[in-house]
Structure 1
Amino acid sequence: MRKVYCLLLVLPTIIFAQEISIYGNRGMFKLQYAQPHNMGVFSFHFTPEERFESFDVDITGRTTTDRKHFFQITSGFSYAIVDFMEIRFHAAPFMKWYEASDYPEERGDEYPPIGMKEIEAGVKFGYPIIVNKQTPLLYALGVDGAIVFGPGLSTEYFSNAWENDRQFYADSFYPPYYIKPNFLPHIPHDPDYRFTGLFDFRIGPFAAHMNAGYLVTGIDENPGYVDSLEFIALERPNYFIHAFGIELIPSNDARILFETYGMFDTENNAESLWVTPGLRFGSTDVSFDLGCELGIMNPNLATEFWWKAFFTFSAGADLIKKVEIHIPIAQVSGRVYDGVSNEPLYATITFPGSDQEPIQTTKLGTYTVSLTPGTYRMHVEASNYRWKEQGVVVKDGDQLVLDFNLNRKPISKILGKIYDAETRQPVLATINFAQTELEPITSDTAGMYSITLAPGIYRLRVEATNYQFSEEVVTLAENESKVVDIALAKIPIDKATLTGKVSEVETNKSLLAQLTFVDTKIPRVTTDPNTGIFKVIVPPGTYSVIVEAADYITESAPVVLAKDETKIQNFQLKPIPKVGEKIILRGIYFDFNASNIKPESYPVLDDAAKVLKAKPKMRVEISGHTDSIGSDSYNQTLSYQRANAVRQYLITYHQIDPNRLAAMGYGESQPIADNRSKSGRDQNRRIEFKILSWE
Structure 2
Amino acid sequence: MQKKMIMLAIALLMAGIAYADPALGGGRGLFRIQDARVEEDGALVFANRWSVQRLSSELEGTSYRGPLFGLEMNYAPFPFIEMFGSLVGVTNLNADKWSLFYDWQGQALGAKLSIPWIPVLKLGASGHWMMEKENYEYKNTAGFLDRVYPSGKSWRALGALRLWELYKTLPTLMFNYGRGFESDYAFVGAGIEFPSDALDLFVEASSEINDPAPAFDKFLGKDYTPRARITPGVRIRIPYFHLNGGVEIGLTDSVPDYQAILGFSIVSPFPKPPAKPFGRLAGQVKDARTGMPVAATITSPNHRFRRMKADADGIFFLQRAPVGVVVVKAEAEGYIPEAVPLVVSDKGFATHTFELKPLVPYGIVAGRVYDKVTGQPLEAGVKFSGVDVAPVTSNPSTGFFRVDNVPAGLVSIAIEKDGYFPEERVIDVEDGAVTKLEAALVARDMRGWFVARVVDMKTGGALAASISFTNVKRAALGADAQTGEASVELPVGAYEVKVEAEGYLPQTSAFSMAKSDTVRRTFEMVSRGMVMTLKGVYFEFGKAILRTESYPALMEAAQVMKDNPDIQVEIQGHTDSVGSDAANQTLSEKRAYSVMNWLVQYGGIDPKRISAKGYGESQPIASNSTDEGRQLNRRVDFAIKQ
Normalising by structure 1, what TM-score?
0.41
